[in-house]
Structure 1
């Protein structure tokens, strides 16, 4: 398995970490919506990229 796949999976995990980051009650509570949007975009973009690469790989094998 290529190392770029692990990098994409690490980016997805980092996006989930940003989504679950507890910032309420800290001085960073103001940037909570920003971290949520960045985490959501990271999960969506890297997941879609892996899905597209997987589908292309399957069709190349046919």
Structure 2
């Protein structure tokens, strides 16, 4: 399997982890909106890139 695809999947999982991390009650509670935004952007960017690579592979333009 392509190592780039595995890296992209790991990045998507990291984005989900950033969105779900509980920061309330810690000294990092003020950074929770920032981590949510970074997580959502990471999920969107890497998911769109994964869809692009999949479509390219399906259409034979690999």
Q: Do residues 40 (structure 1) and 40 (structure 2) align?
A: yes
Equivalenced residues, count: 61
- TM-score normalised to structure 2 length: 0.94
**Unaligned runs of at least 5 residues, structure 1:** none
**Unaligned runs of at least 5 residues, structure 2:** none
Which runs of 4 or more aligned residues in structure 1 lie more than 3 Å from their structure 2 counterparts after TM superposition? none
- TM-score normalised to structure 1 length: 0.94
Q: Deviations over 1:8-49 (max 9, x none)?
A: 000000000000010001110000000000000000100000
Greater mean alpha carbon deviation, residues 40-49 or residues 52-61: 52-61
User: Superposition RMSD on alpha carbons, in Å?
Assistant: 1.0
